[in-house]
Structures are given as C-alpha cells and as structure tokens.
Amino acid sequence: APILLWFRRDLRLADHPMLAEAVETGAPLIPVFVHDEVVEGQGAAPRFRLGLSVESLARDLEGIGSKLILRRGRALDSLRALVVETGARAVWWSRAYDPEARARDAEAMEGLDAEGIETRDFTGHLLFEPESVETKTGGYYKVYTPYMKAVRSRDPGDPLPMPARLPAPESWPDSERLDDWRMGRDMRHGADVVARYLTVGEAAARARLGRFVAERIEDYHVARDRPDIEGTSGLSENLTYGEISIRTCYRVALGAREAGAGGAETFLKELLWREFAYHLLHHTPRLITRNWRAEWDRFPWSEDGDSQEATAWKRGRTGMRFVDAAMRELYATGRMHNRARMITGSYLTKHLMTHWKIGHDWFADCLADWDPANNALGWQWIAGSGPDAAPYFRVYNPESQLDKFDPDGAYQRAWIAEGQADPPRTACDFLDAAPRRWRLSADMPYPDPIVGAAEGRDRALAAYKGRDS
Ligand code: FAD
C-alpha cells in the first residue's frame, strides 16, 4: 500500500529525512501538498512565494518519476479523503514548530491514528530538535549566547543524497491545479514586481549557496551590516520553505571555516540564531502572539495599525530616509536587509511608540522570507519585550545609522525616488508595486520627519522611565 508524503515547509528532494526513509521502504509514494487552514492564514507575500515554491517542487518531482498531488481544504479532511482514494497505509510529514502548524498537525495525527492510519513526523527543518538542547538544570535556553555555546560543538550529521527515483503508485489520484489557487491573489499590484527579486526552488537555492561561499563568505562578517551592498547569502527565502536544508548550509559553512574563510564563523552563528528562534518558539509559543515578558503589557504602546504614524511607516513616508528606503525595499522585493529590519523595528516601537505586533504583522504580510520563529524573535528583540533582547533604552538613531551603514547614499537613492531627476529602476519598482490608493509618485515632495530622531528618542525614554509608575 502507498505512503502519502505530506509536503509543507520542506519543499526539496535533497537532505530530506522523510523522503529518504520513504524510498527505503520500497512502497509506492504519493507526494501531496494541501492548501490548508495554515496556508489560508498566511500573509500575501508568503503565500505568493509559497506558490512558486510548490510549483518548483512539482517540477522537480516529475523529474524523478513522481508527481505532486494538490488538494485544497482542511488538512485532516483532505488527507483522509486521499487515504480513502488511494488505499494509503500511512501519512508522513516533516515536523513543524509554530503553534498554528502544530495544532493542525496534532489534529491530523489524532484523526488519522483513530482510523488506524500510520502517522509519522520527521526531522529536517532544524539542525537540532528543540527539546534535545537543555540547560544544566533541564530547562530551555532563553538567551542566545549560552544556547549557541551549548550546540556549536554538536555534529548535525551529514546531508542525505537526493533520491534518484520515487516509486510511483499504479494510478495517481486527482490533483487540483495550482493556477486555480491564485496564491498571489492578495498581492494586488505587487506580484510581478516582487517576483523579479525572488530566487525560487531547490536548484536555485543550491546555486545561491555555492555563489555565496565562493564570492562573499570571506568578507561576510564586515559586509553583512551594509544594506547598500550584497553582503549576505539571501538564503532566508529558501530556508523558510525548506528549498535547501539548514544542514546543507551549515555543513558548507563548516567546510569554509576549515578552509580559513574569514566570515564563516559569523555566518555559522547567524544560522544558529535561526535555530535559537525555533528552540524558543517551541518552548514558548507566546513568542508570536504576546509580549514574552508580561511586564511590557503595561507599556503605553499604540496598538492602532491604521494610525497616521503606523500608516506612514508602512508606506515608507516617515521622512526618515533609512526607514523609508527599507520599507520600500520590503514592499517592492519581499525582502529587507537585516540592519534595516532593526532600524525600521526600532523606529516603529520607539520613535513611533507603536506596538511591535503591528510591525510583526506587516512583515508577515510583506516578507517573501517570512518565518514564524525568526520574525517573532526579531520583533521581540528589537522592541525589548523578548527574553534575550536589546534593552528598550538602546534607541537606534536612524540618521547616524544611515551615515554609518550607507556611507555613499546608495541605499537611499535605490529606494527613494522623490527629489531624483532620473530615479533608478528599484525606486520605480516600489512606486509600481504600491497600491494606487497610496497615491505616491516620484515628483511629490519628500516628507519631513513625522517624528524626529532626537524628539522620538526623548519621548520613548520618558515613557520607558514612567512605565512602572
Ligand atoms: P544571512 O545574513 O545570509 O544569514 C543566513 C541565514 O541565517 C538567514 O537566511 C537566516 O536563516 C539566519 N539568520 C540570519 N540572521 C538571523 C537573525 N537575526 N535571526 C534569525 N535567523 C537569522 N528572518 C527570516 O528568515 N524571516 C523573517 O520573517 C525575519 N523577520 C525578522 C524581523 C526582524 C524585526 C528582525 C530584526 C529580523 C528578522 N529576520 C527574519 C532575521 C534576519 O533579518 C534575516 O534572516 C536575514 O536578513 C535574511 O537575509 P539572508 O538570508 O541574506 O541572511
């Protein structure tokens, strides 16, 4: 009897523990992707990007004699129907860690188990399973550095090879058509623009890793902070959908470190930030939904996502060039440089005194590399409400940060069209991608800051001092 292989955030063939073990059984395999309640709940850009990834996996599966069956509906119902149609004896998947996916998986497991269908979940999304890393007293880590020290000497094992062929069933069940799902349906104007900036699929992800190690890892530790140059790997959009395994990236970086590449150590540590985010999310799912430290519940943050200030922030019209360039980069490309994520996050939560949840949710709608763990950890870190966080009183100055990290002004020129006689393609792309009702154009004046660097800092610090009184 066949085994159903339920693909979710593991959209690759190489270093795929579930797939490798499934091939070993010799049973016919039926790969399936379900447009389920979790996919339904995703933001516009992540769902659009996911659709491209599913399309790529479907092609890759055909290349090894298989087929990706597409179904839409509640996960348990869709899987149950497929089991009946195919006579499958088992449903396997790769483990997920965020609360929504966990709830979905628990329901699927319970429902299928009750009918005598074997269910199994596999590793593959992380280097180390969250519960396999414990403090000396048997607890979980709340701070990155000790976590990193606890895992850095561990061996995650070697990546598994890509299967040459998947055993096919005698007949295939019906599949829906990906086009009918209109995965980019909420992107409005942006889909075509954003698509130009994406690098989709397993082969492209591998090539990207190879290029990064050949050309950029050497200087990564210095170049990674500069939003005006391509100093990082860009792998987040691939890692989040599992188009490449974290273990493959980690192994390759270990090799580069052994070969003496200057930035390899820093790169390895960044990969472990992702690992830490998942460790923390697994142990404290509230990382996504609430202030991790409850004392922040009393802080006078604005929770109005449509306030004038929050709106200016989302549209890249705060009058702070670093913030605006970054918010436009996000909207046009589905990506944002890490330093820029920190600056925009700091400006929103400190200068604009707006709750990090509003920024978190906007990122979750716009980021093609949206990752439930990394996004939540990033926001709680920058807001100061997380377990291991920048203290709230450390307020980034968006003006001096721009002088430091965009010394030639290339980043701001790339994204801010106003005031430029002949704005570059990137800045025009943003204007093309922005909804018409935002009424933006290259020849409107660039705004004055809605909240100035010094004024915002003073206001935030006064609120911080007064928070307990
Ligand atoms: P590289 O510098 O090449 O790093 C390689 C990989 O390491 C990344 O792909 C990522 O998987 C991991 N990594 C690097 N930095 C971090 C970090 N600070 N935290 C966790 N993992 C890290 N990352 C996401 O993948 N998705 C998100 O939704 C996301 N939201 C963020 C929100 C905020 C407010 C902040 C401050 C950070 C967020 N990050 C997020 C982390 C980081 O900004 C991105 O991972 C990084 O910019 C991706 O670019 P890259 O792949 O070129 O990174």
Q: Separation of 244 CA from ligand 1 center, angstroms?
A: 15
- CB of 232 within 6 A of ligand 1: the answer is yes
Instruction: Dump pLDDT digits (tens) for 402-414.
Output: 999 999 999 999 9
From the CB of 382, is ligand 1 less than 6 Å away?
yes
pTM of the model: 0.98
pLDDT of residue 202: 98
pLDDT, position 390: 80
Residue 391 CA to residue 376 CA, distance in Å, equals 17
Determine the residue of 270, 278, 287, 336 to mutate for testing ligand 1's pocket, defined as the one with the most ligand atoms within 8 A of the Cβ atom. Answer: 270
Ligand 1 centroid from CA 239, angstroms:
10
Residue located nearest, by CA, to atom 21 of ligand 1: 274
Residues marked as binding for FAD? 220, 232-236, 267, 369-371
CA 276, 279, 284: angle at the middle one, nearest 5?
Answer: 120
Q: According to the model, what pLDDT value does residue 469 have? A: 45
Q: Atom 43 in ligand 1: which residue has the minimum CA distance? A: 338
Centroid of ligand 1 to alpha carbon of 443 (angstroms):
34
| Closest ligand 1 atom to Cα of 235 | 51
**Each residue's pLDDT tens digit in the chain (469 positions)?**
999 999 999 999 999 999 999 999 999 999 999 999 999 999 999 999 999 999 999 999 999 999 999 999 999 999 999 999 999 999 999 999 999 999 999 999 999 999 999 999 999 999 999 999 999 999 999 999 999 999 999 999 999 999 999 999 999 999 999 999 999 999 988 899 999 999 999 999 999 999 999 999 999 999 999 999 999 999 999 999 999 999 999 999 999 999 999 999 999 999 999 999 999 999 999 999 999 999 999 999 999 999 999 999 999 999 999 999 999 999 999 999 999 999 999 999 999 999 999 999 999 999 999 999 999 999 999 999 999 878 888 899 999 999 999 999 999 999 999 999 999 999 999 999 999 999 999 999 999 999 999 999 999 999 988 875 4
Nearest CA to ligand 1 atom 7: 271
Q: Scan for tokens 């990969």, then name that residue.
A: 271
State the pLDDT at residue 178.
98
Domain architecture of the chain: domains with CATH: 1-123 (3.40.50.620), 126-156+189-283 (1.25.40.80), 289-466 (1.10.579.10)
What is the pLDDT, as a whole number, of residue 468?
54
The whole-number pLDDT of residue 435 equals 94
Find out whether 200 and 52 touch, Cβ atoms under 8 Å: yes
ipTM: 0.99
Residue 274 CB less than 6 A away from ligand 1: yes
